Amino acid sequence: MTKTLVIAEKPSVAQDIVRALTPVAGKFEKHEDHFENDRYVVTSAVGHLVEIQAPEQFDVKRGKWSFAHLPVIPPYFDLKPVDKTKTRLNAVVKQAKRKDVTDLINACDAGREGELIFRLIEQYAGGAKPLGKPVKRLWLQSMTPQAIRDGFDALRTEQQMAGLASAARSRSEADWLVGINGTRAMTAFNSRDGGFFLTTVGRVQTPTLSLVVEREEKIRKFISRDYWEIHATFGAQAGEYPAKWFDPKWKKSEDVEARADRVWSAAEAQSIANAVRGKQATVTEESKPTTQASPLLFDLTSLQREANGKFGFSAKTTLALAQSLYERHKALTYPRTDSRALPEDYLPVAKQTFEMLADSGMRHLAPHALTALNNNYVRPSKRIFDNSKVSDHFAIIPTLQAPSGLSEAEQKLYDLVVRRFMAVFFPSAEYTVTTRISTVAPHSFKTEGKVLVKPGWLAIYGKEAADEVEGGKDGDKGQNLVPVKPGEMVNTLAVDPKGLKTKPPARYSEATLLGAMESAGKQIDDDELREAMQEKGLGTPATRAAIIEGLLTEKYMLREGREIIPTAKAFQLMTLLRGLEVEELCRADLTGEWEFKLSQMEKGLLSREAFMQQIAAMTERMVKKAKEYDRDTIPGDYATLESPCPNCGGVVKENYRRFACVGKAGAEGCGFSFGKSPAGRTFETAEANALLATKKIGPLEGFRSKAGWPFTSEIVIKYDDEAHNYKLEFDFGDDKKGEESGEIVEFEDASLGACPICGSEVHEHGSNFVCSKAVPTAAQPTPSCTFKSGKIILQQPVEREQMTKLLETGKTDLLDKFVSMRTRRAFKAHLAWDKEAGKVNFEFAPSKFPPRPGAAAKSIAAKAGKTAASVKKAAKPAAAKKAPASKTAAAKAPRKAAAGKAPSAALAAVIGAEPVARPEAVKKMWEYIKAHNLQDPKDKRTIVADDKLRAVFGKDSAGMFELAGILGNHLGGEG
């Protein structure tokens, strides 16, 4: 009997398909990596299992990236398994090659990426020749069992999916060509002077970054101007009302900051105020009804924007929550959509959804659903149901399945979608808008009143309705107006000029950046216009969150509150691309055109060959421009540092590669300079200023070694005797040098909390958090405590707040940026005070999966790397319990702790008279040596004896390796 292989994108979807098919296709038997019955074999990928690569003969040679091997434009692409998921790939391929499997169903997510995931697996399974088995496409918008069964009844043909498959492959290959060639060309250019300066670029990520940099440039260049508004209060018989002066003859001009209600001098503002103060005004007014329809249904980008604005969710978080609500809870339809309409035959489903919501018991939503049903609000509307506006997917709406067990964040997002879904069917909100003009000749003052007559869809939002009212928060636009009788003269009770300043454009938030990406940088606020533009946007709704996260990860941008701010590295990249005239990578609208062409290809209106030829030409031109650039520097808008040159006191200016001394007025520079991007990390201007001012900065993150590994370090500027100038060096924060000098430490910061060893104050010191009694201070020149913990541990910065938390509660929050020294993999852990070990150690969150027998100690120790070596020691007693029964009682008994011995009188004068074991005596001896600065400055391994040590050593000095033996002679009888 022949069978059909169904390949889903994720294991959870495979399970959903099995549950949905069981009632109609019979029971499935579960195997290790697939389900099977008489008709179907169901298995799954785990996202991308295969990726494209250039064939070996066309690939960039290993080792240093250079222009010699660029550009790489292979005539075809090979496939290679993704390392992490190779086992899963082999399992899927095994099923695809089965003789009894005669046809395949692509059940990956309904979109471009899902199409690509399946096509690459199918191609890989075929090897040198195609697999040759017919393929059908399961296209799911909803994950409810009935929706899955309906999908199997309406499978799409190979021919129907050809356009999407071509676009999917073209997108993947275009990103490879531009990303690989662009990154290697720009890295080669930036690494010409030595070192390795990784400079990543991408077909979509770089134009997105360009939007953020251009906005920041406008903010930096913005010069604020003073202007004045004239605010008045008028008194009518019925009461008072506010108004604002305006010029009725004003027309738009080239001055983008000019407004009808602004004047540009204090004298003019005061003159207007004086002219009308205390006088009577005539009043004219016009009232007219107006309506406000609800916003359209959500697509992914508008949902991400709304969730960012309302809850502060990142685009990545919103996508993850929406995916969980779709996949796990079956509560929302497919989220990775760019459509804001529903199919025209979806009216019955919409009614059923309202019925579900009315009966759901969700008290905050059910009454509104009931209102819609009772008033027959759910009816056909081209604004909601429009096949021409539905692409592969329709708008995000709730399914017929009421959810349960949602997290707080999932509930917030679900409510957002449900309210929007209901609102779009409700009537428009109705207002009366009154515009009142009060005239004290020749001056006019305007007052606008907006009164909500019928809330319509705003009723769904309750207290939030005020935020939804257009202009409701603009001060003089939301109020009820006291009536003025026809012909009544009103009195000018007060009039005041108000001095204000023009503001620069706002920085992007994630919400506004998503909007800019959607419209390829064109500022479009209107929903319908933006919808018409979105085919030419940057990326797709499904990829925009990942693009933003990628730019944040590469340190091109950073989040500060809800603002997104470009870094110096971003400005440097834009300067380079503009200088090289590679505008294809800078201009959002050009890249938007590529995205439009991909959507045309999906519809069968553009050939894959034509598109790929254009991408290859762009790639060749980009590499050629970088390779042939022969000037010393790149033209750009460069900074002049405030701090003077440390060598000659001259002015230090920025150029493309360096900060360099240009000398004092009328003199040449002294030759002092330092690279802008040591080890691939670019200095911010403020950091460069601070470095010159203090000759030290850090520790800073984001450096990369020549081998590509990230590291953290302080940066110092030191005088070089040979060069007779200052030079930049890495300083890895070895505080021991300071401790050995015995120099008195003065703490200027506030205490972080009590030391867990001795209860004294803990402060920041160098690259560590230390107990105030662990370093020489004026109050206690001889250190008596050992508490010290790094401010950066395995590349994880430990903020002051986290150290305070550790000191108060015993451990930090779960920190997620540790990188194992051994495996180079990131891991998560709490930092916790280990009383037994007397130091800060790792504490790992409980795993979701039970460990294999005997694996726990091994995995913990491996994750922690060298820093957590003590974890290994802690695991040993547990292993001892497994000793075979045949061992002797002595073997089973715990090891006896080393006994303390009483020190001689001479040694007691140095370390105290308490009985002590030899290792502890050595430790105390070293504390004494360091506290009194007794190491020979020329040879730190030699200890120069003071009077007390001379009595112990029996000579003037001793080697560090002699100490243990000498102390053994001074530890007498049992303590």
Which residues belong to the active site?
Answer: 334
| DSSP secondary structure string for all residues of 497-508 | EEEEE--PPPPP
- 654 forms beta bridges with 659
User: Six-digit token pair at 846?
Assistant: 């409980």
User: CB-based contacts of 836: which residues, under 8 Å, 6+ apart?
Assistant: 874
- 451 forms beta bridges with 432
Residue 412 to residue 309: CA distance in whole angstroms: 13
User: Six-digit token pair at 854?
Assistant: 């005997």
Dihedral (Cα; 569, 574, 580, 583), 10-degree rounding: 150
At 195, which helix (H) or strand (E)? none
Residue 545 to residue 392: CA distance in whole angstroms: 20
CA-nearest of 871, 713, 839 to 769 is 839
Please report, for the chain, how many H helices and E strands are present, in that order: 29, 36
Q: Which 3 state secondary structure label does DSSP give 51?
A: strand
User: CB-based contacts of 517: which residues, under 8 Å, 6+ apart?
Assistant: 208, 211, 301, 537, 538, 539, 544, 547, 588
How much helix, strand and coil, in percent to the nearest 5, is found in the chain? 40, 20, 40
Residue 956 to residue 963: CA distance in whole angstroms: 13
Rounded to 5 degrees, what are φ and ψ at 697? -150, 150
**C-alpha 786: how far from its chain's center?**
38
For the chain, the distance separating the N- and C-terminal CA atoms, rounded to the nearest angstrom, is 84
User: CB-based contacts of 166: which residues, under 8 Å, 6+ apart?
Assistant: 601, 602, 608
Sheet holding 135-137: strands in order across? 29-30, 35-36, 40-44, 3-8, 101-107, 135-137
Cα-based angle 954, 955, 957 (whole degrees, multiple of 5): 130
User: Six-digit token pair at 789?
Assistant: 């913990």
Q: Which 3 state secondary structure label does DSSP give 366?
A: helix
Beta strand extents in 550-677 (DSSP E only)? 557-560, 563-566, 651-654, 658-663, 673-675
Q: Within a 10 A sphere around the Cβ of 243, how many other Cβ atoms?
A: 24
Q: Within a 10 A sphere around the Cβ of 14, how many other Cβ atoms?
A: 21
Beta carbons of 862 and 843 less than 8 angstroms apart: no
Beta carbons of 325 and 410 less than 8 angstroms apart: yes
Amino acid at 333: T
| DSSP secondary structure string for all residues of 646-671 | TTT--EEEE-SSEEEEEESTTS---S
User: Six-digit token pair at 106?
Assistant: 């692509």
